[in-house]
Amino acid sequence: MFTFLGFALAALSLMFGYTAARNFVRTRLRYVDAIRTLKAPLAAGIGAAVLASLPFAVIPLPFFTVGTAALFGVSVAAGVRAGAKDIESGRAYIEGP
């Protein structure tokens, strides 16, 4: 039971990291040229992995590990890259007046 709960929470955190990063890039960083380079997803992914691993080092949870934090960083990096590709292809959100 706890294994399934841990897997479900880990999957939800990965989906949240991807969608939140993609939406943030599409809406807030639309006019930033540096987001289109390869350094931006790497920096965001490493930063997210480090920040996510800090609570796991202090509070040992049976279903969250440092590996989950690393996968969270990968999902954030993928979301940043997908948001940048959406901006380049013109699929980003266009807000009205």
Hey, CA dihedral for 62, 47, 88, 24, is it positive or negative? positive
Q: pLDDT per position in the chain (97 positions), as tens?
A: 767 877 888 899 899 999 999 999 998 998 899 999 999 999 999 999 999 988 877 777 766 788 889 999 999 999 999 999 999 888 766 665 5
Measured between alpha carbons, how far is 71 from 60 in angstroms, rounded to an integer?
Answer: 17
- Could you tell me the CA-to-CA distances from 19 to 14, 54, 63, 93 in Å, in that order? 9, 22, 22, 14
Measured between alpha carbons, how far is 91 from 35 in angstroms, rounded to an integer?
Answer: 15
> For tokens 């490493």, what's the residue?
46
